[in-house]
Amino acid sequence: MVSSGGGSGTGGGGGGLPACFTGNVRIKVAGGWHRRFDKLPYGVPFWIENKTGVHRAELLTHDYDGEMLDMGDGELVTPGHKMKSGKDWIPACDRFPNALRVKFKGTVYNLHVISERAEDHHYILENGEVAHNLKYV
């Protein structure tokens, strides 16, 4: 898996598993708005709002061909993406055990939250779920 954009790696802390979303998934950006992954700026930092405040982030994209989970409304996540569950980060397949599994081939997205603090390494989806991101390197 190759990532592009403002970082490296697969993101999500998925133990080497792909950790991404489809472009129609919306995340919380600064100001409390939600924007689709595929409408975020590419190649330049932008501001997101998460549980610890407002942070700069960069968009990561890559091609993916495999199984994804439908979180609802056709918004897909890879099974290995880390999601918040209480105080823990668990794979999306455990967070959404009854989700419809679908085959997907195309561009997928993740974020790199720019911070040296581990507690900042997340972002909020419009559906209220909290997703992990690529750790700062």
Q: What is the pLDDT of residues 62-121, one digit of tens each?
A: 999 999 999 999 999 999 999 999 999 999 999 999 999 999 999 999 999 999 999 999
**In 3D, which of 72, 71, 39, 43 has the Cα closest to residue 57?**
43
Four-residue CA torsion sign, 43, 54, 35, 133: positive
Residue span of the structural domain in which 24 resides: 4-132
Domains contained in the chain, number: 1
Phi-psi region of 15 (alpha: psi -120 to 50; beta: other; left: phi over 0): left
Residues β-bridged to residue 49: 54
Q: Is residue 137 part of a domain?
A: no
Would you say residue 4 has pLDDT above 70?
no
Determine the average pLDDT of the residues in 45-54.
Answer: 98
Q: Is residue 53 part of a domain?
A: yes
Q: Is residue 80 part of a domain?
A: yes
Q: From CA 84, how far away is CA 60, in angstroms rounded? A: 20
Q: Is residue 47 part of a domain?
A: yes
Predicted pLDDT of residue 17: 61
This prediction has a pTM of: 0.86
CATH assignment of the domain containing 82: 2.170.16.10
pLDDT band for position 133 (cuts 50, 70, 90): confident
